[in-house]
Amino acid sequence: MEHTYRLVISCPDRVGIVAKVSNFLSTYNGWITEASHHSDTQSGWFFMRHQIKAESIPFGLDQFRAAFEPIAREFNMRWHIADSARPKRVVLMCSKESHCIADLLHRWHSKELNAEMVAVISNHDDLRRMVEWHNIPYHHIPVSKENKAEAFAQIEELLGQYEADVIVLARYMQILPPELCEKYAGKVINIHHSFLPSFAGARPYHQAYSRGVKLIGATCHYVTQDLDEGPIIEQDVIRISHRDSIEDMVRLGKDVEKNVLARGLRSHVEDRVITYENKTVVFD
C-alpha cells in the first residue's frame, strides 16, 4: 500500500475552499492521488477528503498541522490529517455469534483490511480458540445485571490500555453504558439487521418470516446513547421470496451483516467517513 496522508475537512460552505487547499498543497509540491468533495445545500456545509502522497510533502504531520492551521481558522474548519502508515488500532467485541468477527479477522489476516487488530473482548468464552489462533489477545468479561458496572469498568480500562482508535461491536449483545458511548463518540461501530424497529428483540428473522417480508438487510452505524439511532455508515439489502425458509433468511442475513460491517469498518479506518449532526458523508 502506498504511503499517503489523508486530509479530511468539513466547514461552512463558501467560495474558494477547494482553491485554497489545493494551492496550499501545490505550494509544498503535495501530490494529490484522490480528491473527494461534497456540498450539502440543505445544511450549507462542505465536506472534503484529499489523499496525498506522503513522500511528496517535505515535512511530517506536526509541521503540516502547524502550516495548515491558519487556513483552517480562516474557513472555520473541522479537520484532521491521518497517516496511512499508522493503521488504526481496532478492538473487536463479540458474544457467541462468529460470522462477523470471523469475517473481519480473515480480512485482516489476508491484509485486505489496513488496521491493527489489537484485542477481542467478549462476554462469553465461546470464540476464544478462533481468536487466539490469530495471535490476538482474548478477554472474557462476563456481563450480568449484578456486575454490569464492574464489567464495563474493566472493559473501559482495557480499551485505554490498548489505546483503541475504534471499537467494533461484531454482534456484541450487550448495551454499552452512556458514559462509554460519550467517551468514544464516533469511534464505536455496530452492526444489526435492518428490520428495526419492526422486529425488535429475540429471533428477528423468525418474526420477519411470519410476516412474509421480501427484503432483508443490515445497517452499520456509529454507537450513541440513543440505542441503534447513531449516524449510519453503510447499509445493504438482499431480496428473498416465499421459497426461502427461516434458515435461508438467517444465512442470507448473516452474509449481508458481515459484508456491511466490513465495508463500514473499511470506510472508517481509511478516513472516508465524516459525521455531521446525525448523518454521515461517506466518500468512495
pTM above 0.85, yes or no: yes
Cα dihedral 175/181/185/190 (nearest 10) = -10
User: pLDDT of 63-119, one tens digit each?
Assistant: 999 999 999 999 999 999 999 999 999 999 999 999 999 999 999 999 999 999 999
Lowest mean pLDDT among 83-87, 186-190, 195-199, 238-242: 195-199
For residue 197, the SS3 value is coil
Active site residues: 228
| Banded pLDDT at 197 (limits 50, 70, 90) | low
DSSP 9-64: EEEE--TTHHHHHHHHHHHTT--EEEEEEEEETTTTEEEEEEEEEGGGSSS-HHHH
Where does the pLDDT of residue 205 fall: very low under 50, low under 70, confident under 90, or very high at 90 and above? Answer: confident
Q: Which three cell numbers stand for residue 31?
A: 501530490
For residue 266, give the C-alpha cell: 473499511
Contacts 24+ apart (CB under 8 A), 250-254: 250/205, 252/216, 253/193, 253/205, 253/216, 253/218, 254/97, 254/99
State the average pLDDT over residues 219-241.
Answer: 93
What does the alpha-carbon distance between residue 167 and residue 278 come to, in Å, rounded to a whole number? 19
Percentage of the chain beyond pLDDT 90 is 88
> Is pLDDT of 199 > 90?
no
Q: What is the pLDDT of residue 195?
A: 73
Residue 203: predicted pLDDT:
83
Measure Cα distances from 201 to 78, 94, 173, 205, 251 in Å: 38, 18, 11, 10, 18
In sequence order, what are the beta bridge partners of 188? 167
The residue-averaged pLDDT of 188-202 equals 81
- The whole-number average pLDDT for the span 211-222 is 91
Note whether 117 and 105 are within 8 A (CB). Answer: yes
pLDDT at 191 over 90: yes
pLDDT at residue 208, as a whole number: 84
- The mean predicted confidence, pLDDT, of the chain is 95
Residues 21-77 have pLDDT tens digits of 999 999 999 999 999 999 999 999 999 999 999 999 999 999 999 999 999 999 999
Q: For position 196, what pLDDT does the model report?
A: 64
Report how far residue 173's alpha carbon sits from residue 105's, in angstroms, rounded to the nearest whole number.
Answer: 19
Mean pLDDT of 246-264: 95
* Burial class (CB within 10 angstroms; exposed 0-12, middle 13-18, buried 19+) of 236: middle
- Please give the C-alpha separations between residue 92 and each of 135, 226, 240, in angstroms, as whole numbers: 14, 21, 30
Residue 201 reports pLDDT greater than 80: no
Task: Kindly report the number of other CB atoms within 10 A of residue 18's CB atom.
Answer: 14
Residue type, 82: A
| Percent share of the chain, pLDDT over 70 | 99
